[in-house]
Amino acid sequence: MTAVAIADNPAESRFEVRVDGELAGLAAYRDGRAGRAFTHTEVAAEYEGMGLASQLIRYALDEARTAGRKVLPFCPFVRSFIERHRDYLDLVAQPERFDLAR
């Protein structure tokens, strides 16, 4: 069985997903006054097709919701995830800026 673990790594300003202890992907962010700006999501080629990016972003967005933090989805994957899962739209600061009209 494959062990998947997701955690925030604030020292690197990114969420990381690990598979059996190996770094498999990340979601980079920058924190600012307007909220947490997601800038890049990446999953290593050998881990593609496992749904890890979606698990990673769901975790990161759930963390933002728990912390009461707004998000800025500059990353195309984060933006498309929110388009497909509109229950996260309330987290988006300036949704019109990202073509995420309410």
What are the respective helix, strand and coil percentages of the chain, to the nearest 5? 35, 35, 25
Q: Which domains does the chain have, with CATH numbers?
A: 4-98 (3.40.630.30)
pLDDT band with cut points at 50, 70 and 90 for residue 102 = low
**52-96 tens-digit pLDDT:** 999 999 999 999 999 999 999 999 999 999 999 999 999 999 888
How many Å apart are CA 41 and CA 45, to the nearest integer? 13
> What is d(CA 31, CA 86) in angstroms, rounded to the nearest whole number?
23
pLDDT tier, 1 (very low <50, low <70, confident <90, very high otherwise): low
3-state secondary structure of 71: strand
Strand partners, 22: 19
Look at residues 68, 51, 37 and name the one whose alpha carbon lies nearest to residue 6: 51
Q: What is the mean pLDDT of residues 21-31?
A: 97
